[in-house]
A and B are shown apart, each in its own frame.
Chain A
Amino acid sequence: MGPGGAEVAQMQKKFEGELVALKKIQKDLTKTTTLRSQLDGQLNENKVVKEELDLLDMNAVVYKLIGPALIRQDLEEARQNVGKRIDYIQQEIKRHENGMEDLEKKADEKRDCISKLQQQMQQIMIKAQGSQ
């Protein structure tokens, strides 16, 4: 039972290591998901702002809230800024989505590893019991 016991302990350590890694990956995944949904909300908001800005006529006055101050902005500049922000947010969303894909793949791989390790451990247990 001696050498069998050492093997089992080793396997258990590996198993726990893989579990910890999987948990970490899942945490990252949820973080990325929340970030992405937040970005989605921002994107929608900025789209609404863009529509409204487009409807304003040339003489309209636009302000931006920077900290506690309302600072006057040029209409064209405001439109461009909002457009650029929309593009930036879209890029960020794409980046996050790619990250999510990678994380999901990694998570799947880890799960496979874990299940294999589980099977191996079971086999060792059976062998150990059989040899007893």
Chain B
Amino acid sequence: MFYDEDFYFRGEVMKKRSSSDTGGEKDGAGTKYSVQSLQNNLENLVQLQHEHRQRLELVEKEYNQLRKFKDDYLHLQKRLRTLPDKTSHEVMVPIGPLAFMPGRLIHTNEILVLLGDNWFAERSAKEAAEIVKRRVKDCNEKIETAENQMNLHKNWLEETSGLFEEDKDQVEIIEELTEEEFERSKEEHRKKLAEDYEKRKSSDQESRTEEETPEAGASTSQENFIEKLDEDDKKAYENLMKRLDQLEMEEDDESGGSQDADDYDRYIRHSETAEEIYSADDGAEHATGTEDTELSASGTPVLYKRNKRRVSWADDTRPLFTIIPDDNSESTYRIKYTTKQLSLPLIEWDPASARDTPEENIDQTDSSSAVIQSPSELYKTFGERRRSSLPDPPPRGILKKTHSSTAEASSSLCSSLIPTRMMKADRVFQTRWLMMLALLYL
């Protein structure tokens, strides 16, 4: 905040400088440059310098105060070391600002430390010394920042004071530009970037076919792949590529076009994700299992949005890489789940249905768990099972009622709340595992 104001001020200064032409020139594009000597209109700079000096004074004051604090704390540390040497010290006690009287300092190891905000702590001399050490550390940090600020101000003032002494060799160049000219120059810049990008691409492609890198493999497979596609897919693919190029050029525009390697890698990865979209459509299998998900996750979300992909469970025959490995290795923690333990009251308990068909429902679900095709079927099958398996508890409230007295009510209430919450989390945990395992059977 401190420096934002300064820079804002400076921006204003730049805007306010009125041009007194000592020589106007035009360049090829028709924009006007005016060259002036710096000596004109430096009053604003003087004002800015004044501001800087004021700030510098403030910071110096703060710095001196902090130095004083640090010295005080160091003295205090010394005194705290010697204080518990005796059980009572003979001292001259100040009464008011002008008088002392002899007295004793007792309870030499009991020190009330002000922690801040009217909080005190009773500490021994050693513990108080620790606190003082920490405060000295804080002080040092603040002193450092104050020093840095002071240096910044001082340097700025030095630099700008130098400006006043320079003679007519230093000039200021102001380019006057209208809105239209600005837009035009932006367009030209974009066009040049596009040409540059095309040139880079073609040169990269040439170098690609010569090298034996995995990227080269990707390009040849890319060409084969393009031939495999039929007309519509080809068009869509080219549109995709054009959009990608456009996006990359926009990025170049923003970043100044200095990321050749990154662009290149991204370009390759984008083409690979494009491949995957189309092969998924064809239903072909991919050898690279987990790489699929990674690439499609890292590939541009723009791709997916543009094509409005449709995901359907029936067509996709790719094996899902399971979260739980099927082997029985010792290293993995496996949680065994059996359907009989379910007692989730997700669907309202219907005593009628429970009484009527307890047996059938259980059998049905054991077999149906292998036939679940979509998430909604989960509810149908397991919901019914729940109805059947609920002779026990009806849905419970969150809070358990306690019978203890009010003095301990709070603590017991807290302790009773915690188990119910954990049990509730348990149920949620169970449903999640349920759904994951159901998906596994797909």
**Interface, chain A (partner B; CB < 8 A):** 42, 45-46, 48-49, 52-53, 56, 60-66, 70, 78, 82, 85
Contact = CB atoms under 8 A, between A and B. Distances in A.
B360 interface: no
Interface string B126-152: 000001001000100000000000000
Contacts of B120: 62-65, 70
Nearest to B122: A61
Interface string B173-199: 000000000000000000000000000
B119 A78 contact: yes
A63 B121 contact: yes
Given A45-B116, A46-B117, A62-B120, 16 more contacts: A42-B117, A46-B116, A48-B115, A48-B116, A52-B115, A52-B116, A52-B121, A53-B119, A53-B121, A62-B119, A62-B121, A62-B122, A63-B119, A64-B118, A66-B118, A70-B120
10 contacts: A46-B116, A48-B115, A49-B117, A52-B116, A60-B123, A61-B122, A62-B119, A62-B121, A62-B122, A64-B120
A42 B121 CA distance: 19
B117 A45 contact: yes
Contacts of B117: 42, 45-46, 49, 82, 85
A57 to B, nearest CB: 9
B205 to A, nearest CB: 52
A93 B186 CA distance: 43
A57 B437 CA distance: 49
B112 interface: yes
Contacts, number: 48
Interface residues of B, number: 13
Interface of B: 112, 115-123, 131, 134, 138
Contact of A49 (B112, B115, B122): B115
A115 to B, nearest CB: 16
Contacts of A62: 119-122
Nearest to B110: A61
Contacts of A56: 121
A23 B281 CA distance: 67
The 4 closest A-B pairs by CB, nearest first: A65-B118, A61-B122, A63-B120, A49-B116
A64 B116 CA distance: 10
B121 A61 contact: yes
Contacts of B131: 52
B119 A49 contact: yes
Contacts of B134: 52
Nearest to B118: A65
A97 to B, nearest CB: 12
B260 to A, nearest CB: 43
Contacts of B115: 48-49, 52-53
A56 B122 CA distance: 10
A13 to B, nearest CB: 31
A82 B119 contact: yes
A48 B119 CA distance: 11
A119 to B, nearest CB: 19
Contacts of B123: 60
B116 A63 contact: no
A70 B118 CA distance: 9
A108 to B, nearest CB: 14
Contact of B112 (A48, A52, A63): A63
Contacts of A52: 115-116, 121, 131, 134
Nearest to B123: A60
A107 B115 CA distance: 41
Nearest to A42: B117
B4 to A, nearest CB: 14
B121 A64 contact: no
Contacts of A63: 112, 119-122
A49 B369 CA distance: 58
B410 to A, nearest CB: 12
Contacts of A53: 115, 119, 121
Contacts of A60: 121-123
Contacts of B122: 60-63
A49 B123 CA distance: 14
A48 B118 CA distance: 12
Q: Which of A46, A60, A63, A66 has the most CB of B within 10 A?
A: A63
Q: Which of A45, A49, A52, A61 has the most CB of B within 10 A?
A: A52
A65 B115 CA distance: 11
Contacts of B118: 64-66
Contacts of B138: 48
Contacts of A64: 118-120
A42 B120 CA distance: 16
A17 to B, nearest CB: 27
A52 B121 CA distance: 9
Contacts of B112: 63, 70
